[in-house]
Amino acid sequence: MAIRRALVSVSDKTGIVDLCRELAQQGVQVISTGGTKTLLEKENVPVIGISEVTGFPEILDGRVKTLHPAVHSGLLAIRDDAEHIKAMEELNLDYIDLVVVNLYPFKETISKPNVSYEDAIENIDIGGPTMLRSAAKNHAFVTVVVDAGDYAQVLEEVRSNGDTTLETRKRLAAKVFRHTSAYDALISDYFAKQLDNPLPESLTVTYEKVQELRYGENPHQKAAFYRKPLSSAGNITSAEQLHGKELSYNNINDANAALAIVKEFNEPAVVAVKHMNPCGVGIGADIDEAYVKAYESDPTSIFGGIIAANRTIGADTATRLSELFLEIIIAPEFTPEALEILQRKKNIRLMRIGELPSAAERNSEWLVTSVEGGMLVQQSDVHSLSDGDITVVSDRKPTDEELKQLLFAWKVVKHVKSNAILLASDNMTVGVGAGQMNRVGAARIAIEQAGDKAKGAVLASDAFFPMGDTVELAAKAGITAIIQPGGSIKDAESIAVANANNIAMIVTGVRHFKH
C-alpha cells in the first residue's frame, strides 16, 4: 500500500503549505476545499478541488462540499474486501488514503466577548468531523491527521515507506476521536448554558492537559493536570509560573484552596494553607499587614505552606516571606524588587494570577467530584452574607467590632473541612479545628491552638450545634461571640448557654459543609 491521494481541509493553516508541497513531491495527489485550496494555489502547490472528485459544486456557502459518496466511499472502503473493491470499481470511485483536517474554530469563536448566537452556530463544523470519523474508523487503511504537530512524522514515514505504519494510524485515529469528542462536548456545553441547563440528562465534559505530574497525592499514584478549554482567568489553571520547581499534585490542590479563600475578601488579605485547610488568614490596611497577621495566626503550621495574596507583593512583604520555607506564593502581581528577593530561593514557586474574578463570575463555576463509577456535580459555594441573612438570637447583640470579626471568621470557616470551628480576633484567625468527626472535637482543637488568644475571640461554626456542649466549651475559653447557621432542634439549648455566659450569638440560616 501507498498513500496516493490526500484530502486536505483546514481552518488552522499552520504548516499546511509545506506539508502539501512535500506530499505533491512524493507523488501524492492533493484534493482540497475552499480557503485551503485557494492558499495552496497561491503558493503554487499542485491541488485539485473537491468538486472535481464529487462532480458536484460546493453549495450553501460551503456548508455542503465533502458530504458526498465519492468522498466517504473513498474513506470507508475496506481495501482487502472483494465486495468493497467491486463496488468501488463499478461506480468508478477512487480511494482516499490520507485525510488532513482541523475543524471550524468553535472554541475560539465562543470565547470572544459578546459573540452572537448565530456566529457560534455557524462555526459548528459538520463535514470536518464526518471526514475525520470516517477516516479514523478505517484507520487500518487510511491515515488521518488532526494535529499539525503530527505532520513531520507522517511525512517522514511517507518518505521512507510510501505509507504510514499501522501503529501510527492507530495512534492518530485515537487522537481524532478524542478531538471530535472534545469538540462536541464544547458544543453541548454551549447549548446547556444558552438554555440555562447546567445539569442535563447526560453530561459530557472535556479538559486539556496542562502537564504530566511526577505523581499524585503519593508517589505510587500516577497523575496529570488538566484545565477546562475555556477556563476563566484568576485561577490556578491560568496562573503564570514566574519561578521555581514544577508544581506537584498536592501543590495544585493547596494553591486552589488558598485562592478560593483569598477571593472572599475585598480588603487586602493573605491566606496560608496546609493540606487544603487554612492555617492562617489575615486582613489589613495593606498586604504587608495582612501577611503579618496571617503569619502570627499560626507560625508553626505556615512552614512549608502555600501563601495566596489578593494584592501585589512588594519588597517589604517579600523580605518577610523569604525568611520562611514556603512551597508556593500566589499573587495578582509581584513588584520587580519582590521578584528579585524571592527568586534567590531556588525552589519556591512564584505564581502570578492576574486580576481576581468577581463573586458573580465565580458563581458560574460548577464543581465536579469523582466517585467510584460516577461523579457528583454541584455549584460552587460562593454564598456571601447580606444584612438580611443575619439574625441575633442571644440576649446580647454583638458589638460592632465583634460583628466585624464574626463576618471575617464566617468567610474563612466555609473553606475549612467539616466539621469545622474557627476562632478569630483582630482581623486574623487564631484557631482552626478542621475535619473532625464531632463539633466539640473541632472546637477543642481550635481553642487549644489559640491558647491565650481564645479569650475575647469570636467563634464561627460551619454547621449548627446539635447541642449546647460546644458553646459551653467556648464560654470556658473566654469567647465572646458566635456565628453559626442555626436550625438544630436544640437551638434553644445553645442559645440558653450563650445567654448564661453573656455570649452574643448570630445565626445565618446558611450551612457551609465541606467534605
pLDDT tier for residue 379 given thresholds of 50, 70 and 90: confident
Q: Range with the lowest mean pLDDT among 22-31, 55-64, 289-298, 472-481?
A: 55-64
- Taking the C-alpha atoms of residue 152 and residue 168, their distance in angstroms, rounded to an integer, is 12
Among candidates 232, 179, 223, 182, which has minimal Cα distance to 206? 182
Q: Which three cell numbers stand for residue 336?
A: 520587580
Strands (E), 56-176: 98-102, 143-145
Query: Cis (ω within 30 of 0) for the bond into 501?
Result: no
Amino acid at 162: G
For the purposes of burial, counting CB atoms within 10 Å of the CB of 47, is it exposed (0-12), middle (13-18) or buried (19 or more)? Answer: buried
Amino acid at 347: N
Residue 184: what pLDDT?
94
Per-residue pLDDT reduced to its tens digit, 176-193? 999 999 999 999 999 988
- Taking the C-alpha atoms of residue 416 and residue 261, their distance in angstroms, rounded to an integer, is 10
Per-residue pLDDT reduced to its tens digit, 424-439? 999 999 999 999 999 9
Identify the DSSP state of 64: B
424 contacts: CB under 8 Å, gap ≥ 6: 405, 406, 408, 409, 412, 430, 457, 458, 460
Among candidates 309, 7, 307, 318, which has minimal Cα distance to 138? 7
Percent of the chain with pLDDT over 90: 82
Strands (E), 394-451: 421-425, 428-433
Among candidates 411, 419, 421, which has minimal Cα distance to 262? 411
Residue 436: what pLDDT?
93
- Taking the C-alpha atoms of residue 347 and residue 484, their distance in angstroms, rounded to an integer, is 41
pLDDT of residue 233 exceeding 70: yes
Amino acid at 85: I
pLDDT of residue 380 exceeding 90: no
pLDDT of residue 73 exceeding 80: yes
Per the prediction, the chain carries an average pLDDT of 93
Per-residue pLDDT reduced to its tens digit, 438-494? 999 999 999 999 999 999 999 999 999 999 999 999 999 999 999 999 999 999 999
Task: Tally Cβ neighbours within 10 Å of residue 439.
Answer: 24
Identify the DSSP state of 161: H
Residue range 235-255: average pLDDT?
A: 93
- Taking the C-alpha atoms of residue 443 and residue 133, their distance in angstroms, rounded to an integer, is 59
254 contacts: CB under 8 Å, gap ≥ 6: 273, 274, 275, 276, 305, 306, 327, 328
pLDDT tier for residue 58 given thresholds of 50, 70 and 90: confident
Q: Range with the lowest mean pLDDT among 62-66, 172-176, 209-213, 357-361?
A: 357-361
Per DSSP, the three-state class of 332 is: coil
pLDDT of residue 369 exceeding 70: yes
Per-residue pLDDT reduced to its tens digit, 326-361? 999 999 999 999 999 999 999 999 999 998 886 656
Strands (E), 199-295: 208-213, 223-227, 240-243, 269-274, 277-283
Residue range 278-306: average pLDDT?
A: 95
For the purposes of burial, counting CB atoms within 10 Å of the CB of 281, is it exposed (0-12), middle (13-18) or buried (19 or more)? Answer: buried
Residues designated catalytic: 137, 275
What would you report as the CA-atom Rg of the chain, rounded to the nearest whole angstrom?
30
> For 280-347, what is the HEC assignment?
EEEECCCHHHHHHHHHHHCCCCCCCCEEEECCCECHHHHHHHHCCCCCEEEECCECHHHHHHHCCCCC
Q: Which three cell numbers stand for residue 386?
A: 447580606
Contact 450, 422 (CB under 8 A): no
Q: Which is higher by pLDDT, 69 or 320? A: 320
Percent of the chain with pLDDT over 70: 99
pLDDT tier for residue 202 given thresholds of 50, 70 and 90: confident
pTM above threshold 0.85? yes
510 contacts: CB under 8 Å, gap ≥ 6: 383, 385, 389, 485
Per DSSP, the three-state class of 78 is: coil
pLDDT tier for residue 364 given thresholds of 50, 70 and 90: low
- Give the H/E segment covering residue 9: strand 5-10
Residue 363: what pLDDT?
61
pLDDT of residue 362 exceeding 80: no
Q: 506 - beta bridge partners?
A: 392, 483
Q: Which three cell numbers stand for residue 177?
A: 476521536
Among candidates 513, 467, 473, which has minimal Cα distance to 494? 467
Residue 60: what pLDDT?
78
Q: Which three cell numbers stand for residue 326?
A: 514556603
